[in-house]
């Protein structure tokens, strides 16, 4: 089922409006399309980040942690760096 559009006034800094308009023009899209895509991507990225943070906190509470030195050693080994 298609989502119904809601109208909500927002304030955007003048410089950002110019950037949005430039991007919209380059993509042959509307300002509305660019702003909605940006909001969607922002919300998806932040939802993912919050899920990962919550999972990490739960793992730490369950004692499922690796000491920092082991993590750093693993990264150094993977990339051939010396520590």
Q: Is there a contact between 33 and 41 (Cβ–Cβ < 8 Å)?
A: no
What CA–CA distance (Å, rounded) separates 59 from 11?
40
Q: Please give the pLDDT value at position 5.
A: 80
Q: Please give the pLDDT value at position 16.
A: 96
Q: Is residue 1 part of a domain?
A: no
Taking residues 12-18, what's their average pLDDT?
A: 94
pLDDT in tens, 18-50: 999 999 999 999 999 999 999 999 999 999 999
- Residues of the chain with pLDDT > 90: what percent? 86
Q: Quick one: tokens of 30? A: 């509307």
What CA–CA distance (Å, rounded) separates 36 from 10?
12
Q: Could you list the beta-strand ranges (E) of the chain.
A: none
Q: Is residue 5 part of a domain?
A: no
Distance of CA 51 to the CA centre of its chain: 12
Q: Is residue 4 part of a domain?
A: no
Beta carbons within 8 Å of 17's beta carbon, 6+ residues apart: 31
The domain in which residue 26 lies consists of 14-79
Give the count of domains, the chain. Answer: 1
The model scores a pTM over 0.85: no
């Amino acid at each position: 089922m298609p989502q119904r559009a809601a109208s909500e006034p927002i304030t955007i800094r003048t410089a950002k409006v110019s950037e949005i308009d430039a991007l919209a023009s380059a993509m042959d899209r509307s300002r509305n399309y660019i702003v909605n895509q940006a909001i969607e991507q922002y919300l998806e990225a932040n939802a993912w980040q919050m899920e990962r943070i919550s999972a990490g906190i739960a793992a730490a509470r369950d004692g499922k942690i690796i000491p920092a030195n082991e993590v750093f050693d693993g990264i150094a080994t993977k990339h051939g760096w010396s520590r």
